[in-house]
């Protein structure tokens, strides 16, 4: 089957309840800069992937596999995948 190029975005975030010291540091820095009313900041990662696949579903399956094996630490992180 012919392969097409798909653009995907994978977002990896810390699970709820997992401490995010980087996010806390940003909260503190925003407060120091005079930004009021910040309740919380959590930092995550985003991966923009261009890949060959036979279909959108195939691309999603491959990306989930990549997340499990490399892109996310599934003990403490959740991932979401958007293809299209």
Minimum CB separation of residue 75 from its own copies in Å reads: 19
Nearer to its own copies, 4 or 75 (CB): 4
Instruction: Tell me phi and psi for residue 9, to 5 degrees.
Output: -125, 125
Minimum CB separation of residue 3 from its own copies in Å reads: 6
Nearer to its own copies, 5 or 19 (CB): 5
Q: What distance in Å separates the CA atoms of residue 65 and residue 42, rounded to the nearest whole number?
A: 25
Minimum CB separation of residue 37 from its own copies in Å reads: 3
Task: Identify which of 70, 69, 68, 50 has the alpha carbon closest to the alpha carbon of residue 59.
Answer: 50
Residues that bind its own copies (CB under 8 A): 3, 5, 11, 13, 23, 26, 29-30, 33, 35-53, 62, 65-66, 69-71
């Amino acid at each position: 089957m012919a392969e097409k190029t798909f653009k995907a975005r994978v977002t990896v975030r810390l699970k709820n309840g997992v401490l995010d010291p980087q996010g806390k540091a940003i909260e503190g820095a925003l407060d120091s800069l005079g930004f009021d009313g910040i309740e919380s900041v959590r930092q995550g990662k985003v991966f923009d992937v261009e890949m060959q696949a036979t279909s959108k579903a195939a691309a999603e399956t491959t990306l989930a596999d990549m997340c499990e094996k490399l892109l996310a630490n599934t003990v403490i992180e959740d991932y979401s995948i958007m293809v299209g």
